[in-house]
A and B are shown apart, each in its own frame.
Chain A
Amino acid sequence: MDLIASHITHRFGDLAVLDDVSFTVGAGEVVAIVGPSGCGKSTLLSILGGLLQPTSGAPELRGAPPADSLNPLTFVFQDFALLPWATVEENVEFPLLHTQLSAAQRRALVDDALRRTGLTDFRKTYPKQLSGGMRQRVGISRALAVKPAILLMDEPLSALDSQTRELLMEDFVRLLADGGMGAVYVTHNLEEAARLADRIVVLSRRPGRIREVVTVPMTRAARGEAAAREKLLALQNQIWSLIRNEAIDAEREVQHA
């Protein structure tokens, strides 16, 4: 199943946020979206996931989702969006409650998702008892439980410290490694984009337009090797040079807002 951003334009009142953004995320492909602050990255993701109606244009799906997918487009949120009154397993089970699955089937999906994210021993704990990294694991586990075709990840690591970020990054690489699941990964962190994505969509300053689409010139599996580091660093520098001046302008704009 492909996800297509088709000529998406969006305005909040008089404020133009996105202008004619079009690209396609193929099955199993990971596309990162980067750009200066306020360029509309998160707005674009909300539109792609059907949480926000664009002013014009539309997100489209092409092809059938995997047969076992309960929610083909599934979000992983920056702030985790966990129900604080529910335990870890209740949070993971939450999106399954309204499905036609039996209790045993739900239980199996929850168990599998918890196992894949290393949360089996924490199933009875509440979010407030967990660290930020563990909370995001719960968010990922909840997303995996519905067997998504494409993960929509909105800066999923930005609220975490650098060590936790590194550990979760390794988890993302592992989860996306088999190509069975694609992702749209919104980030301001170019290292994350270069390590995870097959293609990087670079947006301009507001209103966000596609400035360039950069293809990462190596497989995701090859990026863990020492020889790849230099190339990835060069890629990051290339993207940074594209957005640096606009990022400075955007920061000044935010400060004066």
Chain B
Amino acid sequence: MLDRAPGDVTSKDDTTRRVRFRGAGFVPASSRFGGWIALALVIAIWQAAGSAGLVNALFLPTPSAIARALYELAISGALWQHLSASLLRIGVGWILGTAAGVTVGFAIGLSRLARSVGITFISALFPIPKIALLPLLILWLGIGEEPKIATIALGVFFSTAISVYSGVDAVPRNLIRMAQSFNVPFATIVRKVIWPGALPAILAGFRITASVALLLVVSAEMIGAQYGIGAFVLQAGNLMQTDQLLAGVVILSVFGLAVGKVIGWLETRLLHWR
């Protein structure tokens, strides 16, 4: 009797008892305000510790000092100067990298020749930290905006190409066969079957490439830029202005959150069928 505990076999007890519920847990669900409450709590403790002198303000300024630094940056106009420089680099680099990545990703996903050639190159070049190429790109493109934008575009390109061809590969083959069985032309299959089928993976890739772009813009600006959030953070660090340094970090965090929200909105709009 495999379904009984040994003790049950000889039991003569005929009283009824409720079966113990064993199905709880393993269904994580986040509450709507839980994260914000936790964040507020951490900031409050941080502020209290700083105000009480438990933490040296040079190493970790209080949240209010960071907010003050942000405010001063904003009214002096420096915030917009640095932010606009970074946004321009990220925007142009991301668009160029994404356009190339989507094109190459689709080519690899749809063409045997492109796959044979493309995957070899992508496998060889993807692991290289793109920031290591910045000096070479400066040599090739000069010391202006071009090498920074090219670094971001390169970083975005590889991740995008990989997510796009993985997305194309993941489109159920039965849908493609169905379309072929109705003599639907190749271009229509790409537009009406493969593109929407690959879109979840492509949008997931956008989340990653937005982070990659942010990482690369800060790195590139730290190496060679006068303006930009990365340059600002580096300057603040060199001058031991940790409140300004952390103000720059907060701006980066807010930017990352905003991009995440935009992609989340796109997913809600474009993937409502899921």
Contacts and interface: CB of A to CB of B under 8 A. Distances in A.
Interface string A109-127: 0000000000000000010
A146 B178 CA distance: 13
Interface stretch (A77-85, A169-177, A218-226, A227-235): A77-85
Interface in A35-62: 49-51
A73 B179 CA distance: 13
Contacts of B271: 85
B175 A83 contact: yes
B181 A75 contact: yes
A74 B182 contact: yes
A81 B184 CA distance: 14
B192 A94 contact: yes
A81 B183 contact: no
A95 interface: yes
A97 interface: yes
B185 interface: yes
**Chief secondary structure at chain B's binding surface:** helix
Interface string B176-217: 011111111100100011001100000000000000000000
A157 B183 CA distance: 24
Interface residues of A, number: 21
B273 A85 contact: yes
Contacts of A95: 179, 182, 184
A252 interface: no
Given A83-B193, A84-B273, A85-B273, A98 B185 contact: yes
B177 A51 contact: yes
B178 A75 contact: yes
B188 A98 contact: yes
Given A84-B273, A126-B273, A98 B183 contact: yes
B174 interface: yes
Interface in B98-145: none
Contacts of B192: 83, 94, 97
A83 B189 CA distance: 11
A141 interface: no
A85 B196 contact: yes
15 contacts: A51-B181, A73-B181, A75-B178, A77-B174, A79-B174, A81-B175, A83-B193, A85-B196, A85-B197, A94-B184, A94-B192, A97-B184, A98-B183, A128-B273, A146-B182
In the A-B complex, list the 9 residue pairs whose CB atoms are closest, starting with the nearest.
A95-B182, A81-B178, A85-B273, A75-B181, A85-B196, A81-B174, A98-B188, A126-B273, A98-B184
Given A94-B192, A95-B182, 15 more contacts: A49-B181, A51-B180, A71-B182, A71-B183, A74-B181, A74-B182, A77-B174, A77-B178, A81-B174, A81-B175, A85-B196, A86-B273, A95-B179, A98-B185, A146-B182
